[in-house]
Chains A and B, each alone.
Chain A
């Protein structure tokens, strides 16, 4: 007899109480502090991402409100110019890096295994690691605020002002090192989404049956893998210039200040798509639920998503039209920036057609999704305007661009996220959000947002430059700025109502049941909130809308929800093939593990060492990080990583 167990016939059977009890024992995270730092449950991690991102949204929002008070009238002195510079820099950094992608990663982390019909992400421990590093990077950058030396050169941090000569304090070092640390988190998360996409889908979920929100996130994750190194490198070179006197960005010794802009926008323009495409994916999956029909043009929307990301890598120079580049280069990038509207607009028409042809039910989520489309069009059109070189020279560095970026980031990120919150909060908490309060808060958010940012286009066209801490009287900017300030406070009030709704509904909301919206995808096939193992039996998928099959009559087969592979001998999940999602092998999944947390601590200490120029501390951290990673990766029998043959 051979002791080696390299293969097995997976048990296929029905869901049962006994099976659920057994799986729960296997999959539940330990309670208490240990369980808190060691949990690798994607649902736990997803919620942590969302809560942390919303906390940063609140902080960034408060920063914005202080700025709006300062700008409410001419010649005000509520904050000093230096404080104002730190405020707008941290506001941008917070919203763009610490809120916008992490909140989407949170939803994706929570939803990926559920909509894909599996039990966890491909790399559960890496998932925990990416969250901890994100938290560490956020805290790292915010410590600068407590020391009164927050980044003060805007979120795009142009040289030469970011060079040491002009900015000798630690402000920029906090930003540079913090972004490199955050990049590690983003990259780890992106790798996890990509591999989960290729490998962890329920059997039968072939590539044409994957929900769009998965497509959105996996597309931008691939984008992240290719884009993030550019900004990490840009910041690393900047840090070297500042600390070791290298000459990457200083013109006097053959360096090139424009190199910063190239490397930064090589990353940051794809990033713009990275922080909207997953939200567009959530709209593509959420909106049809409330239109009572499948999304129109699934394939086109998927292809549009991917094309947008690919083209997104070829438009970065449109941020640099005012820097004196060759005419040929500007024409090329201007053209590319026009072309990218085509794939981005595909989704817009698909959504409109879905509403048009559906029977819309006006819920709060629907309102957010529908207004998302309108905001997308406004933000998209003002974007196309800046793609035209002559017009851009007029708009550049004015409030017009500020208005544009807010229509894009609030309109296409926050509105999508809030809609998604109303759709999936019941799944996460088991309780519905209050619809009445929801609709009231929606209208407050909607009016507040448009009151704040629509007039801002005029502010820009009237020539008000961005990033100035005050302005003189009688130049025609006062009324517009007052309106914007009023709108900003109204928007903040609306968001406070949303928060109130969440806090109230967690305890007092109506029970949601498994599928409160009668949604079509697999996350609605399990309980709300889902058990630690997600699915007692792995579903076997026969169509794109497993829970609507009876009504849609898609295909000939029927999805099996209650009967399937049980995978109950230890923590197990099913790996399937990349395109067809045929069952491939049985994966042994890791349980609670504190090492991702410890490695994060070691890594974060290293970055503190670099900041303080305590090289011994950085060196110790390298050793500790390596040692921790080796412990983490050491082959384990329970993960089926060790030879079971007897060697002689």
Chain B
């Protein structure tokens, strides 16, 4: 197609339409799918805002006595937060490597992120087990398990997405140009991590403000 480089100017009316060489299909960010992911993240972010609204509404309306005797501890959740943050860093690096067409590094990073996500998931289940109350015990328990449950479901979905990206990377479907799914999936994972930070702040830290 390179001979069209010297294509004659296309004249219509009194205007000249010149369109230079155009990319076919999407690169990384800015693809239709990436915009689609932005809309998904927006709507999911509001889902969590409404969940946290529910928490705050209960906390304000019911007062301090509403909180359980033993406040949520940092013992498991603290390190777990760091693990999730680390996974975000790892996938960020994975995306950067693919932009330089370094497939193997991307694959290794995705596998590392999967392991970190798996650890977070397991630790979170352990924390659930250690609670003296269940979903239907009190309204606090209901909202606690629902918020963290929603987040955990997102971690699970993010895990599936990262696993799929790892498979696709391993199969050699991506290079430095065609890698939109990678950017899209990784954006979702960053979102899952960002949501956890907010959940962690509201559920684990604010009760300590007195």
Q: Enumerate chain A interface residues (CB-CB to B < 8 A).
A: 4-13, 122-123, 126, 187, 190-191, 194-195, 198-199, 225-230, 232-233, 237, 240, 244-248, 253-256, 259, 262-263, 266, 540, 542, 557-558, 560, 562-565, 575, 583-588, 626, 630, 633, 635, 639-645, 647
Chain B interface residue count, Cβ-Cβ cutoff 8 angstroms: 61
Task: List residues of chain A with CB within 8 A of the CB of B4.
Answer: 9, 11
Task: List residues of chain B with CB within 8 A of the CB of A5.
Answer: 1, 24
Could you tell me if B54 and A237 are in contact, using CB atoms closer than 8 angstroms? Answer: yes
Is B15 interfacial (CB-CB < 8 Å)?
Answer: yes
Task: List residues of chain A with CB within 8 A of the CB of B62.
Answer: 254
Could you tell me if B47 and A232 are in contact, using CB atoms closer than 8 angstroms? Answer: yes
Restricting to B10-60, which residues have a CB under 8 Å from any CB of A? 10, 12-15, 17, 19-26, 32, 35-36, 39-40, 42-44, 46-47, 49-51, 53-54, 57-58
Is B100 interfacial (CB-CB < 8 Å)?
Answer: no
Could you tell me if B135 and A246 are in contact, using CB atoms closer than 8 angstroms? Answer: yes
Q: Enumerate chain B interface residues (CB-CB to A < 8 A).
A: 1, 4-5, 7, 10, 12-15, 17, 19-26, 32, 35-36, 39-40, 42-44, 46-47, 49-51, 53-54, 57-58, 61-62, 66, 101, 103, 135-136, 138-143, 146, 160, 164, 168, 172-175, 177-181
Chain A residue, CB-CB nearest to B37: A191
Chain A residue, CB-CB nearest to B8: A12
Task: List residues of chain B with CB within 8 A of the CB of A9.
Answer: 1, 4-5, 7, 19-22
> Could you pull out 25 A-B pairs where Cβ atoms are within 8 angstroms?
A9-B4, A122-B32, A190-B39, A195-B35, A226-B42, A229-B44, A229-B47, A229-B49, A240-B146, A245-B136, A246-B136, A247-B139, A248-B143, A256-B61, A259-B57, A558-B12, A558-B14, A563-B17, A586-B24, A630-B164, A635-B181, A642-B173, A643-B172, A644-B178, A645-B101
Task: List residues of chain A with CB within 8 A of the CB of B136.
Answer: 244-247
Task: List residues of chain A with CB within 8 A of the CB of B143.
Answer: 248
Pick the contact of A585: B23, B43, B135, B139 (CB < 8 A).
B23
Could you tell me if B26 and A248 are in contact, using CB atoms closer than 8 angstroms? Answer: no
Could you tell me if A565 and B46 are in contact, using CB atoms closer than 8 angstroms? Answer: no
Could you tell me if A586 and B46 are in contact, using CB atoms closer than 8 angstroms? Answer: no
Could you tell me if B19 and A10 are in contact, using CB atoms closer than 8 angstroms? Answer: yes
Could you tell me if B21 and A8 are in contact, using CB atoms closer than 8 angstroms? Answer: yes
Pick the contact of A583: B1, B7, B12, B22 (CB < 8 A).
B22
Could you tell me if B36 and A262 are in contact, using CB atoms closer than 8 angstroms? Answer: no
Could you tell me if B46 and A7 are in contact, using CB atoms closer than 8 angstroms? Answer: no
Chain B nearest CB from A199 CB (Å) reads: 6
Chain A nearest CB from B180 CB (Å) reads: 7
How far is it, in angstroms, between the C-alpha of A46 and the C-alpha of B161 when the chains are bound?
31
Chain B nearest CB from A19 CB (Å) reads: 15
Could you tell me if B35 and A122 are in contact, using CB atoms closer than 8 angstroms? Answer: yes
How far is it, in angstroms, between the C-alpha of A6 and the C-alpha of B140 when the chains are bound?
55
Pick the contact of B180: A123, A560, A641, A644 (CB < 8 A).
A641
Chain B nearest CB from A585 CB (Å) reads: 4
Chain B nearest CB from A648 CB (Å) reads: 10
Pick the contact of A643: B24, B47, B175 (CB < 8 A).
B175
Chain B nearest CB from A66 CB (Å) reads: 36
Could you tell me if A640 and B172 are in contact, using CB atoms closer than 8 angstroms? Answer: no
Chain B nearest CB from A57 CB (Å) reads: 27
How far is it, in angstroms, between the C-alpha of A8 and the C-alpha of B1 when the chains are bound?
7
How far is it, in angstroms, between the C-alpha of A563 and the C-alpha of B57 when the chains are bound?
59
Pick the contact of A635: B19, B44, B168 (CB < 8 A).
B168
Q: A5-B24, A122-B32, A642-B173 are in contact. List 20 more A-B contacts (CB 8 A).
A: A6-B24, A9-B7, A13-B10, A122-B36, A123-B36, A229-B46, A237-B146, A244-B136, A248-B142, A254-B139, A255-B139, A256-B57, A259-B54, A263-B53, A540-B17, A586-B23, A640-B24, A641-B173, A642-B178, A643-B174
How far is it, in angstroms, between the C-alpha of A192 and the C-alpha of B93 when the chains are bound?
30
How far is it, in angstroms, between the C-alpha of A240 and the C-alpha of B136 when the chains are bound?
9
Chain A nearest CB from B87 CB (Å) reads: 21
CB contact under 8 A between A585 and B22, given known A225-B39, A228-B43, A229-B47: yes
Task: List residues of chain A with CB within 8 A of the CB of B138.
Answer: 247, 253-254
Could you tell me if A563 and B142 are in contact, using CB atoms closer than 8 angstroms? Answer: no
CB contact under 8 A between A254 and B23, given known A228-B43, A246-B146, A247-B139: no
How far is it, in angstroms, between the C-alpha of A557 and the C-alpha of B142 when the chains are bound?
62
Chain A nearest CB from B178 CB (Å) reads: 5
Could you tell me if B66 and A254 are in contact, using CB atoms closer than 8 angstroms? Answer: yes
How far is it, in angstroms, between the C-alpha of A585 and the C-alpha of B178 when the chains are bound?
14
Task: List residues of chain B with CB within 8 A of the CB of A12.
Answer: 7, 10, 17, 19
Chain B residue, CB-CB nearest to A633: B181
Chain A nearest CB from B106 CB (Å) reads: 12
CB contact under 8 A between A263 and B5, given known A195-B39, A585-B23, A643-B174: no
Chain A residue, CB-CB nearest to B174: A643
Pick the contact of B32: A13, A563, A575, A635 (CB < 8 A).
A575
Task: List residues of chain B with CB within 8 A of the CB of A266.
Answer: 50
Could you tell me if B25 and A263 are in contact, using CB atoms closer than 8 angstroms? Answer: no
How far is it, in angstroms, between the C-alpha of A13 and the C-alpha of B101 when the chains are bound?
37
Task: List residues of chain B with CB within 8 A of the CB of A255.
Answer: 58, 139, 142
Could you tell me if A233 and B47 are in contact, using CB atoms closer than 8 angstroms? Answer: yes
How far is it, in angstroms, between the C-alpha of A191 and the C-alpha of B172 when the chains are bound?
30
Chain B nearest CB from A120 CB (Å) reads: 11
How far is it, in angstroms, between the C-alpha of A228 and the C-alpha of B136 when the chains are bound?
26
Task: List residues of chain B with CB within 8 A of the CB of A248.
Answer: 54, 139, 142-143
Pick the contact of A640: B21, B26, B53, B57 (CB < 8 A).
B26
Chain A nearest CB from B89 CB (Å) reads: 25
Task: List residues of chain B with CB within 8 A of the CB of A246.
Answer: 135-136, 139, 142, 146
Pick the contact of B172: A7, A194, A256, A647 (CB < 8 A).
A647
Chain A nearest CB from B103 CB (Å) reads: 7
Task: List residues of chain A with CB within 8 A of the CB of B180.
Answer: 641
